[in-house]
Amino acid sequence: MSDVLIRSSSPDERRATLALTLVPSVGRVAYDNLIATFCDASHALDAGVPSTVSRDAYARADRMIERGATRGLQLVAESDVDYPGTLRELPDPPPILWRWGAWDVLQEPIVAVVGTRRATSYGHRMTREIVSALARGGATIVSGMALGIDAVAHKAALDVGGRTVAVLGTGADVAYPRAHVALHREIASRGLVLSELPPGARSHGGSFPMRNRIIAALARLTLVIEAPMASGALITARRAEELGRDVGMVPGPIDSPQSQGTNEYIRDGAHPITCVADAVMLAGLQPQPRAKPALTDETEVRLWTALSDGPANLDELCTRAALPVAQCLSAVTRLELRGVVECALTGEIRRR
C-alpha cells in the first residue's frame, strides 16, 4: 500500500498525482517508491523525474483534465482528504479517480451488489427485493453497471430514491455496455459514477478485475446474487474476503448454472442470504416497513391480499381472490402498469 501524505484538497497536487502516473517509466512499484521518498507527487516530479519527462507528463495531465472537464468529470487524488478511506486498505489503491456525479452519495453504509450478466428472472427478482430494502434502510448500493444483476441493482436503488454508485471498467464518461447509455446518465444525475481510467478510455482485458477490486474495497459488505463458477462477481467476492469484508451469497436452484458459484461459496462458509432480512441485518441496518401500494378499488384490494400467499398463475389467483377471470385480469393489468405487481414469463403473477 502506498504511504501517501493526506492533505487538504489541492488542484495542483491532483494535477501532479495524475502527471506522475503518466510518466512512462513509473508503474505501481515505482510510483509507491517515489511517493515514499518524496512524500507527494509534486516533489516526486520535481526531484525524482527528469525535467523534460516531467514537463511532458504535466502537459498530458492538463490535456486529460481539460477533456474530463468538458465531459463533466472531476479528479480525486489519493492525497485528498475526501478520497475514500476504504480504498487505502487496498495493497494497490488507485492514485487517482475520475468522478461524475455527486460525491456526497458515497456515504456509509456501502453495500456492493454484484452477479452474473446472464441473470434469470429469479435473480432479477431477488436483486430488486434485496436492494430495495437495503436502499430504503439507508445503504448506498455500489455495483459495476454491467448487464444483468448489476444494472438491476442500480435501477432498484434509484426506484426507491436511494443512493447508488457505478464503478466502471471504462472511463467514467463511457457507457459500457452501450445499451446502458440512459442508465449511465441517470446514475450520474442522481448518484455517482467512478473510474480510475482516464476520460474516453475503453475497456481492456484487465480493466474489469481492476474495477472489481474498487467495488470490493468501497463496500463493507458484498452480496452476490447469481454467479456461475467463472464469474467476475466471484472475483469481487474474493477481493472482499482478502480485505476482511463480509460476503453474503444468495442461494439458487441447485440445477441452475447461474447459481453454481454462489451455492458452492455458501457450502464453503459464506453467509447465506435466505431472506431479505438476512441482507438487511448483515448490513447492520434496521428493517424499514414497505409502503403499501395505492389500491383504487375492492378488486385490487382482493387481488393484492390474495398475492400475500405468494406468486400464482391467473387461474389460481382468480380462485384465491374469488374473482371472475375477466375482472381479475383487468385488475392485474392495471397493477402491472403501475408497477405494483409483475407477470413472469412463466405466467406467474407476484407482488413487486
Domains of the chain as residue ranges with CATH = 11-83 (no CATH), 104-282 (3.40.50.450), 298-351 (1.10.10.10)
Task: Give the per-residue pLDDT at 2.
Answer: 52
Query: Could you tell me the mean pLDDT of each successive run of 10 residues in the chain, 352 residues long?
Result: 52 92 91 91 90 93 95 93 93 96 95 96 93 95 97 96 97 95 97 97 90 97 95 94 96 94 94 94 83 84 87 89 90 86 82 79
Handedness of CA 302, 305, 309, 314 (dihedral sign): positive
3-class secondary-structure state, position 92: coil
How do residues 245-286 score in pLDDT, each as one tens digit? Answer: 999 999 999 999 999 999 999 999 899 999 999 999 999 998
Task: Give the per-residue pLDDT at 8.
Answer: 44
Task: Give the per-residue pLDDT at 347.
Answer: 83
Task: Give the per-residue pLDDT at 4.
Answer: 53
Asked if 192 and 165 touch (Cβ cutoff 8 Å), the reply is: yes
Q: What does DSSP say about strands 192-195 and 96-101: parallel, antiparallel, or unpaired?
A: antiparallel
In this structure, the chain runs to a length of: 352
Asked if 263 and 239 touch (Cβ cutoff 8 Å), the reply is: no
DSSP assignments along 139-200, one per residue: PEEEE---TTHHHHHHHHHHHTT-EEEEE-SS-TTS-SSGGGHHHHHHHHHHSEEEESSPTT
**Cα(23)–Cα(44) distance, rounded to whole angstroms?**
11
- Give the amino acid at 15: R
Q: Which long-range contacts (CB under 8 A, 24 or more apart) does 119-123 make?
A: 119/148, 119/149, 119/152, 119/225, 119/226, 119/258, 120/226, 120/252, 120/256, 120/258, 121/344, 121/345, 121/346, 122/226, 122/252, 122/253, 122/256, 123/148, 123/149, 123/152, 123/225, 123/226, 123/252, 123/258
Residue 342 backbone dihedrals phi, psi, to 5 degrees: -135, 150
Task: Give the per-residue pLDDT at 300.
Answer: 87
Say what the pTM is. Answer: 0.85
How do residues 155-212 score in pLDDT, each as one tens digit? Answer: 999 999 999 999 999 999 999 999 999 999 999 999 999 999 999 999 988 899 999 9
3-class secondary-structure state, position 8: coil
Q: Which residues of 32-59 are buried (b: 16+ CB within 10 A; e: fewer)?
A: bebbeebebbbebbeebbeeebbebbbe
DSSP assignments along 302-318, one per residue: HHHHHGGG--B-HHHHH
